[in-house]
Structure 1
């Protein structure tokens, strides 16, 4: 929720609190500045007592008083302590920067909606939700081996680690502390989860209970109805969220969706059309095949600075985000977290990881780094872990478009509700499907024989756009130069892929990482 640059040795506040001044979109003190992420779904304030200044950003919540809109608020230390303590139980996300003489502490909430990257460099601490903002600090010779091979082998982990040894991610509920001499991040305690389902009390209808819970989660956000949108893919996850949103704001909410290629896409379009008619949203669709991975108009092919951890299908979603932004959508509800919500066990992985045998172009250096894949992992979070990791790759582009993304199915309270459900209601997403049936959806829409998937879009992008990019990588590659990818093995994989019926999908992971690194490092070496 912030980007900032703090000159730690200049943070001397005793008797000088008034030196913090607003300047354009920033808060400024000497050579330090803090820029909040502007969005009507968020509240911001700078609050000070006699010895410290706190910059607070938090989601606006309907039944809670907003922060004082004045620029700098002076208060008693006990009042500031109470305000900070309130964040511990705040029902939305937050970030707080607490500054005292020559020191700063940065604390994150439990939702992980907006990642925060921190780059300590002696007396300077820089941070941003947008990794490219820190690209002037990045270097190819400072890549972190274990994170690089996680990306190459599809073994992503939630951690303070990033691709660069000089940049850290502030994970959920974690606290970073910085002085001119020292920087550290303290992980929180593991979150408690319900490990066994429970028996429903007699007469309890889980559909009604879930309906009430989801509606409460959706309704808590402060935003004008005309600024609210929903992602609507055609699947049951986003459909359940859209149902709650549309009931709260009938005929005022816009919906957005990618239409997949082929027969699957035609069936998806029909399902979406019927559902849109039922709930009454103003609908916009994007033909995904016009914007496949690595397409010439996308950020990867154009070399626009972006996080290498970006989603495979960023190009198509960027077009969707542009459409929503053009409609002045500032708060977008998504169906992320539905798979984890209905998982039969919290230990079930979202996807099977690759192994080094699956990636024949790994070098010996990369294979050795695989031994550290599980080093420095964050503790169990209250939000489903795969959802948190999805937020890292998917949410920053929304924030760039001026949109605050919300995933009510990944809310800790929603997750705790589902963890207690009898297995029969979670298996095959029975709870979500039955709720749509009661809302009037047909059986073919609730449980389609051919649900939407991204396989054909990925193959289209790899074949049409990815292989030409891969060809350039054979001559000039960050990953080859840094010793992670064997050029001969990659050349062999490229030649085989040209004549293969299907391009190996793991080439996509290598290309995504390569193009992302190039976008950050070119011109900064």
Structure 2
């Protein structure tokens, strides 16, 4: 939500607002400009802070998005600071003390558009876009890279580039001359499901979802909805349509057996909810497989395939729609606890295990040893599920570059708290969500056992058709030069995909390609 380049020595200057940024001497702090965000600067003798945060629906009367407040006394300063820390939506807070040239950066708990930080000598760099840290040669963190290559992605402060940290939710970065330290938050308590007492949980779910959707201000004609055709985004669509009109839904039409049912579900939802639906065809926006230098820096925390999504986000921006509601978080709302699942299911689906096997075959013995070790640097348990936080980190920079502010109602901590503690009968098979959709859409949109959409068939044939080009580009392999992968194993995996169109093999290869791009960029920024 903010970008900043700060020299600690400049903290001696008084902060001043100039146009779209805060200046302290030559240093600059630039909030992301968006109607759903506001910036507040609070100054007091010898100290100040700036907060960039999501706007609340009930405080939207103040249309001035940039406000500078001179606190008359310590009581006022502390009260305004405390308000920021308790803000119910997402925020980034940067605090400065002139004495000792000290700086602290705090993150909110939602992780909607997380920021990264790098501290070098007297300089602090903060950005919501990890690509901004490719401005100089970087060292690859071998342990982090090994885990990512083995499809064991972790949510942690440590990132692929050594010296760059991600501010995980509720974390803080403390900086003073000659010293920097990172502080994780306290973990949340473990969820314990309720005993099934026969109570109907649908009203509780409906009310919690309504609250999550209505927390932010609603600007007519400004909202789009990412509608995939699945239950998660459909649930958000129903909640939005129950409160507002003029909703522009957007989605990607897939090929194969899923296309017909997906098109039918979209048509039914658009008709019954009054959505203006817009789609793009998956074949019109294939993912780039080129390993040559990209036209712009490549973020090291990024989904591999965003081309079709980018087309949708650009169309939303061109229509003046700047806020995107999504179904991110729905997969994590209804967990199965260990005493509710079989031993085989607890080990994960066979597809995922096969993908990890293919991925591990690429690794050198050194990298494999690192990948199989349990990471000791994970962020603690959070109010927002980790998979949602990782999805935010991967997608947010591209969304923001397209002028879109993401809103994920199904990642709302209060909704997650409720759903994680539902009795098994309400969680299993997403029963309470299924009933919610049935009550608003009818039973024919998401019948039990409906054919789900999947991107699994997109990459295998595309990679196979570009196999010769990829093989030529991989004569030079940055990850092999680093001692992380065996180049011959990479070429063998490419041949496996060409011959079999294996989805697990493709998943492992896509992860490799993403890391290879980042490794090449690190050595040649």
Partner SS for 2:509: helix
- Distance in 1 between residues matched to 2:422 and 2:51, nearest whole Å: 36
Following TM superposition, the consecutive aligned residue runs of length 4 or more in structure 1 with deviations greater than 4 angstroms are 65-71, 299-303, 346-358
Partner SS for 2:324: strand
Q: Which residue does the alignment assign to 2:165?
A: 168
Report matched runs for 1:494-505 at 5 Å. 494-502=494-502, 504-505=505-506
Report matched runs for 1:211-222 at 5 Å. 211-222=206-217
Tell which deviates more after alignment, 483-492 or 431-440.
Answer: 483-492
Q: Which residue does the alignment assign to 1:268?
A: 262
Partner SS for 1:439: helix
Q: Which residue does the alignment assign to 1:453?
A: 454
Tell which deviates more after alignment, 62-71 or 78-87.
Answer: 62-71
Report matched runs for 1:298-447 at 5 Å. 302-345=294-337, 352=352, 355=356, 358-447=359-448
Q: Which residue does the alignment assign to 2:489?
A: 489
- Counterpart check, 1:196 vs 2:193: yes
User: 1:291 deviation in Å?
Assistant: 1.9
For residues 172-211 of structure 1, what are the alpha-carbon distances to aligned partners after superposition, in whole Å with 9 as ceiling and x for unaligned? Answer: 10110001210111111101243222445x7x54222222
- Distance in 2 between residues matched to 1:93 and 1:409, nearest whole Å: 15
Tell which deviates more after alignment, 394-403 or 362-371.
Answer: 362-371
- Distance in 2 between residues matched to 1:199 and 1:41, nearest whole Å: 40
Contact map agreement 1:292 1:460 (CA 8 A) in 2 = no
- Distance in 2 between residues matched to 1:227 and 1:69, nearest whole Å: 17
For residues 128-153 of structure 1, what are the alpha-carbon distances to aligned partners after superposition, in whole Å with 9 as ceiling and x for unaligned? Answer: 010111211342xx100111012111
- Distance in 2 between residues matched to 1:486 and 1:234, nearest whole Å: 40
- Distance in 1 between residues matched to 2:310 and 2:445, nearest whole Å: 30
Q: Tell me which of 513, 516, 522 is aligned to 2:515.
A: 513
Q: Tell me which of 36, 55, 60 is aligned to 1:60.
A: 55
Structure 1 unaligned spans of 5+:
none
User: 1:451 deviation in Å?
Assistant: 0.9
User: 1:521 deviation in Å?
Assistant: 3.4
For residues 84-142 of structure 1, what are the alpha-carbon distances to aligned partners after superposition, in whole Å with 9 as ceiling and x for unaligned? Answer: 21233322111100011211100001101112110100100001010111211342xx1
Distance 1:400 1:383, change over 3 A: same
Q: Which residue does the alignment assign to 2:23?
A: 28
Q: Which residue does the alignment assign to 2:342?
A: none
Partner SS for 2:221: helix
Tell which deviates more after alignment, 167-176 or 360-369.
Answer: 360-369
Tell which deviates more after alignment, 344-353 or 231-240.
Answer: 344-353
Partner SS for 2:40: strand
- Distance in 2 between residues matched to 1:46 and 1:10, nearest whole Å: 17
For residues 241-267 of structure 1, what are the alpha-carbon distances to aligned partners after superposition, in whole Å with 9 as ceiling and x for unaligned? Answer: 0111122112x1111111111120221
Report matched runs for 1:150-299 at 5 Å. 150-200=147-197, 205-250=200-245, 252-294=246-288
- Distance in 1 between residues matched to 2:292 and 2:249, nearest whole Å: 26
Contact map agreement 1:255 1:283 (CA 8 A) in 2 = yes
Q: Tell me which of 69, 86, 92 is aligned to 1:95.
A: 92
Structure 2 unaligned spans of 5+:
340-345
Contact map agreement 1:40 1:223 (CA 8 A) in 2 = no
For residues 356-402 of structure 1, what are the alpha-carbon distances to aligned partners after superposition, in whole Å with 9 as ceiling and x for unaligned? Answer: 67432211231232255512111100101111111111222111111
Q: Which residue does the alignment assign to 1:45?
A: 40
Partner SS for 1:87: helix
Contact map agreement 1:218 1:408 (CA 8 A) in 2 = yes
- Distance in 2 between residues matched to 1:187 and 1:328, nearest whole Å: 38
